[in-house]
Amino acid sequence: MTDLLGIGASGVRAYQTAIGTTSENIANAGTAGYVRRTTTMNEVAAASRGINGNAPLVASGVVVSGIARESDELRQVAVRSAGADLARSETAVTWLDQIEQALTRSGLSGALTGFFNATRAIAADPSASAPRLAMLDSASGLADAFKGTASQLAQLGRDLDATAGNAVTTLNDLATGLARINDGLSRATPGSTGSAQLLDQRDQILEQMSALSDISVTMDVAGRATVRLGSASGPVFVTPGVDPGKILYSRNVDGAVSYGLRRNGVTQSVSPSGGALAGIADAAQRLAAATTEIDRVATEFVDGVNAVQAAGEDLDGHAGGAMFAIGADAASITVTLTDPRGIAAAAPGGGTRDNANLASFDTLRASGSAEGAVTALVAENGAALSSRRTVAAAQTSIHDGAIAARDQMSGVNLDSEAVDLMRYQQAYQASSRVIQVAREIFQSILNVS
C-alpha cells in the first residue's frame, strides 16, 4: 500500500514539475534568447527484491532528474558565424555610404568643371572684367568644395573612431558579463532551472559578441565558455576562473586601424575577420584612401594652376601670380589671387587681347585629370558600396536561415507545448487518482479490520 502511495506521489511531483516547465515555455514564447526546456524523468530503482535477489518485487515510481535545454551548439555556432559575417558587411555598407556622401555633398566634381569652363569664357574677350570675376568666383567655390570635402572626410574619421571606441567598450563589457555567467555556472546545479537561465544568458552574450568580432567558443562540462577572438588558434579573450582580456583600438596618422588584446599584462595584436570591428577596419581603409586621393588631387591641381599662371601675363603685362595656396592637405586650400586683372590669359608679350595662355588650362584639364580623378574616386567607392550591399543581402538570407534552423529546435512551438500541457495534466490527474485509490483501499482495510 505504501508503494502505491509512493508511486502516486512521485507522479504528482514529477508531472507538477513538467507542467511548470511547459508553462514556463509558453510564457516565454516571445522572449528573445529563451531556449525551450523539457523535464527529464527517470524510473526510480526498486529498493526491495524478490526472495532469489533478482527481479524487483514492485516498481517504485518516477523522479525528475533535471531540466534540459533543447539547444544545439552546432546551430548556435552557425548563427554566430553568419552574424559575424553579416555585421562586417552591414558596418562597411554604413560607412561606405557616408564616404560617398562626403565625396559628393560639397559638389567638388561640378566645381572643378565650372572652374575650367570659366577659363574658356575669358578666351572670348580676354580684357573683359565680367568673365574674369566669374573665374575668381569659381576658384573660390572650388576651394570651398575642396575644403568641404576634406572636412567631411576628416569628420567621418572622428565619427569612425567614436563608433569603434563604443564597439570595443561594448565588447569588453560583454566579456565581463560572460565571466560572471561562467562563475555562476560553476556554482549552479546542473540540470536546474537556474542553470538553464544562465546558459540562455551565455548564448545571448556570445551572439552579441559575434556581431562585434568573429569568435571561437568551447564549452566545459558545466557549460562555461572559453572565447578566442577569431579562429580556434586566436588569442584567448575569456576563460573560466580568470579575468577577461581587454580589447584596445587605435588608428594611426595614415588611417590604418589596429586592434589589440591585453590580458595578464601582455598585449597581442588582433585582426578580426568578422563583426563590426572588421567592418570598421574596412571602412577606415577606404576612408584613408579617399582622403589621400583628395589631398593628392588638390595639391596637383593647385600646382598646375599656379604653373599656368606663372607662364603667362596678366592685363598689366606682369607675370601671372599664384591663384591658389595649399598646405599639407586639401582642407588648407585658399584662393590667393583677388584681383581679376591678375589672371594670366596672355602669353608673354601677347598684350591685353591675347588669350594664348588660356589654352594651358585646357592642357592641365586633360593631363592633370582632376575631374576624372574625383569622378573615378566616387565611382570606385560606389562600386564597393554596391558590391557590399549585394553581399550583405546574401548574408542576411544565410543569417536568417541559420536562426530559423536554430529556432526550429530550440524555439517554443505553442501548438506542441499545448499538447504537452494537456498530456502532463492528464498524467498529473491520473497520479492523483492513484493516491486517492490507495487511500480508499487503505480505508477499506481499516474498516474490515
> What is the residue extent of each domain of the chain?
2-70+412-448
Q: Quote the pLDDT of residue 57.
A: 54
Q: Quote the pLDDT of residue 449.
A: 59
φ, ψ of residue 104 to 5 degrees: the values are -110, -20
Q: Which three cell numbers stand for residue 69?
A: 535545454
Q: Are 225 and 238 contacting, i.e. CB atoms less than 8 angstroms apart?
A: yes
Q: How many whole angstroms separate alpha carbon 331 and alpha carbon 111?
A: 15
Cβ contacts of 82 within 8 Å, gap of 6 or more: 395, 398, 399, 401, 402
Buried b (16+ CB within 10 A) or exposed e, 340-379: bebbbbbbeebeeebbebbebbeebbeebebbebbbebbe
Q: Are 342 and 320 contacting, i.e. CB atoms less than 8 angstroms apart?
A: yes
Q: Quote the pLDDT of residue 329.
A: 94
Q: Quote the pLDDT of residue 46.
A: 65
Q: Quote the pLDDT of residue 54.
A: 58
Buried b (16+ CB within 10 A) or exposed e, 314-326: bbeeeebebbbeb
Say if pTM beats, i.e. exceeds, 0.75.
Answer: yes
Q: Quote the pLDDT of residue 64.
A: 87
* SS3 annotation, 30-95: CCCCCCCEEEEEEECCCCCECCCCCCECCCCCEEEEEEEECCCHHHHHHHHHHHHHHHHHHHHHHH
Classify residue 315 by its DSSP letter: T
Q: How many whole angstroms separate alpha carbon 407 and alpha carbon 200?
A: 13
Q: Decide: helix, strand or coil at residue 108.
A: helix
Q: Quote the pLDDT of residue 65.
A: 84
Q: Which three cell numbers stand for residue 309?
A: 599662371
List per-residue pLDDT tens for the chain, 449 residues long.
557 777 888 888 888 888 888 888 898 888 888 988 888 888 887 655 555 555 555 567 888 888 888 888 999 999 999 999 999 999 999 999 999 999 999 999 999 999 999 999 998 889 999 999 999 999 999 999 999 999 999 999 999 999 999 999 999 999 999 999 999 999 999 888 899 999 999 999 999 999 999 999 999 999 999 999 988 889 999 999 999 999 999 999 888 999 999 998 899 999 999 999 999 999 999 999 999 999 999 999 999 999 999 999 999 999 999 999 999 999 999 999 999 999 999 999 888 899 999 999 999 998 878 999 999 999 999 999 999 999 999 999 999 999 999 988 888 888 888 898 899 889 888 888 888 887 878 777 777 75
